[in-house]
Chains A and B, each alone.
Chain A
Amino acid sequence: MVELVWLIPAFPLLGFLTILIGGRRMGEPLAGLFATAMVGASFVVAVLTYLDLLGMDEEQRSHTETLFSWVPVGDLQIDMAFLVDPLSITMCLFVTGIGALIHLYSIGYMHGDPKFSKFFLYLNLFVLSMTLLVLGSNLLVTFLGWEGVGTCSYFLISFWHTKDANATAGKKAFVTNRIGDFGVMLAMFLAFGAVGSIDYAVINDSALAGTLTQATATGIAALLFVGAVGKSAQLPLYVWLPDAMAGPTPVSALIHAATMVTAGVYLMVRVNPVLGAAADWVPMLIAWIGAITALFAATIALAQNDIKKVLAYSTVSQLGYMFLAVGTGAYVAAIFHMITHAFFKALLFLGSGSVIHGMHDEQDMRKMGKLFKFMPVTASTFIVGWLAIAGVPPFAGFWSKDEILLYAGAESWVLYGIGIVTAILTAFYMTRQVIMTFFGEQKWGSLANEAEAAHLNDPADTDAATEGAEAEALEDAGTGPQSVGAAANADIDQHETHGAHGEFKPHESPPFMLIPLVVLAGLSAVGGLIQLPSIGIIPKNAQHKLLDWLHPIVEFGEGAEERGIGEAIITDTTAYDLKVVLIFVAIACAIAGIVAGWAVYQRRLVKPFEPELLERGWRYDEAISWFMGKPGRAGFQGVADGDAKVVDGAVNGVATIVRETAGQVRKGQTGYVRQYAGVIGIGVVFLLGWFVVIRGIL
């Protein structure tokens, strides 16, 4: 089966091409079903490959499948080749698995959109790029996918591009990603210069064998990290991710939570031997940037009112955790958290999409509340996601976050402190979101009813009122094509409700949207099983499943084999001795966050503290605008002036001098033949004098 691994990207490619050619004819819902089937087929291939690998010996679980020679240029030989090993297959499993679920969800969510088939075209192209990214056996194939997901992200964020803000958000994402991409390119050049190849196998082997000098390894690791910072939305390049929420909600779930943003973490884990060979400041930098980003984004999430913005900042924060793990050497924990995060964040995003759908394109949480009884399935699954991200055992997020905190504690108690504060904040803001959306006070009735009441006062019959509601729904949603779908749903709703009591009523979403929610809720609940910690009460053979699976890929430092794989690097530390205590601390913090959130937002014991500074994201965007607008613009103006005056001035100056001199010299050319003859005569006399008198010839 490992030889057929190329089928994993081939199916989305087939879907992409088919929809490209015949998407308009296929229409709704056939295009969506076809795209879903293609990603589903990829998932099946990934599962089969996984089972195949599972049957092999540990040492053999790495297979390079070369399709063709891609760039044969002298010493530079790059193949279009796929690397099948536990890490890439793990990534493939959740990329295609969650991708398929989100495709399925999108059939319901994008219902009625005029660009329905185009949406699935982009989604398939995205999955294709993402599988190339994770399967690539060298940096260039990965980079192809890396750029591919960036491009798709641009297409999908700006999907409803008739609205200016959406188009701007797409551009912002694209440009910010490009800043990081130059790091990946430079790392590629550096790797080729140092080891003559950009294959992961060659680079990693030379790092392990010590033939890669520390300076080169440091350079490669640091430059790849620059790329990862851009792609995985860390400080200071996180700004695109919150704005990327302008896209349709399935896109937020697929790209900005489950898959694309994890590419940076994946890349760092993929080259972990290089990180090991690099100078110590690189992992430390990664850990600190991760920790600070986690805390920074969590504080912003405290004061957001847009249901998707909260989740967006929470994604940035969780990605910070993953980088904290990478920086502290906890590569398995990073992958573990990536997987669990993919489960629960996809769930939360799809849940929020369901809420937005049910609330007729309302995203402001201040206009929600008490939605639990109207959308029971969405609410229940969302609650599972909430408990998972808040770190309540036994849900998935608890186990992965706990493992990261353990490694952070082993590295430095300050990092641990930042991590645990972030965990409290996470529990708090997620509780706030759940209460504002599903519990608390009902705030949508009065606001939404004003418009409805106006229609009720009309003597017109129900049909006229429905038409009015439909037109208004269109208006409400701006120019978003989604509004067509929403209007259609509104249509049905109002038919049901108008006659009775004329109430605006949120509705539960269609089954296409609920099935993925239920599946993801299940995964979020039990996802932690893949990597249970090594504490007494858990059976030995149930512990560290993921670690055993990944361990040929991940570098654990010298002597790891003798000291026992995995936790070897931290077994000497205080944190390791206290790990059971740390688990209870983590549980206590999660509960404290939830209780605090409940006290503030449900019981209103304390007035909510949501300063404007946090709501506007520490004014980070404004700071960038100001910086680029004032000193930045002045600086660029200075460079432009320097170019115009110094560089152009030098060139023009030389030309001017030549022109002026020539102007003087040409006056000597009078056109009088006799004058020329005279000058020639004088010249001859002079030359003769020279030869005869001075040189003494004759």
Chain B
Amino acid sequence: MIAAVEPSWYLVVAALLFSIGAFGLLVRRNPLVMFMCIELMLNAANLTFVALATSLGDINGQTAVFFVMVVAAAEVVVGLGILVSILRRRPGATADDLAELKG
């Protein structure tokens, strides 16, 4: 018999995913990759919600996941729109090139 999957394993996977996302966000300069890293972190949070909702028997956690997915979708629409327009104007620009608002 395969050992039952402990809830803590899910949490560990989620923490790993979140760390990868955060690390990627901080070290990569390609705006698209940074965007993907943000998605990774969001989904890590989603995984945490789902895992805890199941183990605690509380449906509210799963509800929150839907909210996060909706917000993420909206964010992707806006964010990708901005990204496309920036890259169309300045092909190959990195996030560090977009520093016009520095003090």
Contacts and interface: CB of A to CB of B under 8 A. Distances in A.
A672 interface: yes
A60 interface: no
Contact of B95 (A668, A669, A674, A681): A674
Contact of B103 (A669, A673, A677, A678): A669
Nearest to A666: B103
Contact of A674 (B29, B100, B101, B102): B29
Interface string A660-676: 00000011111111100
B26 A670 contact: no
Contacts of B22: 681
A63 to B, nearest CB: 80
Contacts of B103: 666-671
B102 A673 contact: no
Interface in A652-666: 666
Nearest to A662: B103
B26 A678 contact: yes
Contact of B101 (A668, A671, A681): A671
Nearest to A673: B95
Interface residues of B, number: 14
A673 B22 CA distance: 13
Nearest to A669: B103
Contacts of B26: 674, 677-678, 681
Contacts of B95: 672-674
Nearest to A668: B103
B96 interface: yes
B98 interface: yes
Contact of A671 (B25, B27, B34, B100): B100
Contacts of B5: none
Interface in B62-103: 95-96, 98-103
A556 B22 CA distance: 100
B100 to A, nearest CB: 7
A678 B98 CA distance: 17
A671 B102 CA distance: 4
Contacts of A677: 25-26
A442 B58 CA distance: 130
A219 B98 CA distance: 74
Contacts of A671: 98-103
A670 B99 contact: yes
Interface in B28-85: 29, 34
Contact of B25 (A667, A669, A674): A674
Contacts of A668: 103
A369 to B, nearest CB: 91
Nearest to A678: B26
Contacts of A670: 99, 102-103
Q: What size tier do the contact residues of chain A reach?
A: 10 to 19
B75 to A, nearest CB: 15
Of listed A667, A669, A673, residue having the most chain B CB within 10 A: A673
Contacts of B102: 669-672
A669 B101 CA distance: 8
A670 B34 CA distance: 18
B94 to A, nearest CB: 10
Interface string A63-100: 00000000000000000000000000000000000000
B93 to A, nearest CB: 12
Contacts of B25: 674, 677
A677 B95 CA distance: 12
Of listed A666, A667, A668, A674, residue having the most chain B CB within 10 A: A674
Contacts of A681: 22, 26
Contacts of A666: 103
A678 B27 CA distance: 10
A685 to B, nearest CB: 11
A677 B29 CA distance: 12
Nearest to A681: B22
Contacts of B29: 674
A30 B29 CA distance: 100
Contacts of B98: 671, 673
Interface string A673-690: 110011001000000000
A572 B22 CA distance: 109
Contacts of A669: 101-103
B84 to A, nearest CB: 17
Contacts of A667: 103
Contacts of B101: 669, 671
Nearest to A665: B103
B55 to A, nearest CB: 17
Contacts of A672: 95-96, 99, 102
A3 to B, nearest CB: 81
Contacts of B27: 674
B52 to A, nearest CB: 13
Contacts of A673: 34, 95-96, 98
A175 B34 CA distance: 79
A669 B34 CA distance: 20
A623 to B, nearest CB: 63
A668 B95 CA distance: 17
A429 B80 CA distance: 106
A251 B92 CA distance: 93
A249 B100 CA distance: 81
B40 to A, nearest CB: 14
Contacts of B34: 673-674
A671 B22 CA distance: 19
A307 to B, nearest CB: 81
Interface string B5-28: 000000000000000001001110
Of listed B22, B26, B34, B98, residue having the most chain A CB within 10 A: B26
A441 to B, nearest CB: 94
A673 B29 CA distance: 9
Of listed B29, B100, B103, residue having the most chain A CB within 10 A: B103
Nearest to B99: A671
A677 B28 CA distance: 12
Contacts of B100: 671
Nearest to A674: B26
Nearest to B31: A673
A661 to B, nearest CB: 13
A621 to B, nearest CB: 65
A668 B25 CA distance: 20
Of listed A666, A669, A671, residue having the most chain B CB within 10 A: A671
Given A671-B99, A672-B96, A678-B26, 11 more contacts: A668-B103, A669-B101, A669-B103, A670-B99, A671-B98, A673-B98, A674-B25, A674-B95, A677-B25, A677-B26, A681-B22
Which 3 interchain pairs have the tightest Cβ spacing? Answer: A671-B102, A671-B99, A666-B103
Interface of A: 666-674, 677-678, 681
30 contacts: A666-B103, A667-B103, A668-B103, A669-B101, A669-B102, A670-B99, A670-B102, A670-B103, A671-B98, A671-B99, A671-B100, A671-B101, A671-B102, A671-B103, A672-B96, A672-B99, A672-B102, A673-B34, A673-B95, A673-B96, A673-B98, A674-B26, A674-B27, A674-B29, A674-B34, A674-B95, A677-B26, A678-B26, A681-B22, A681-B26
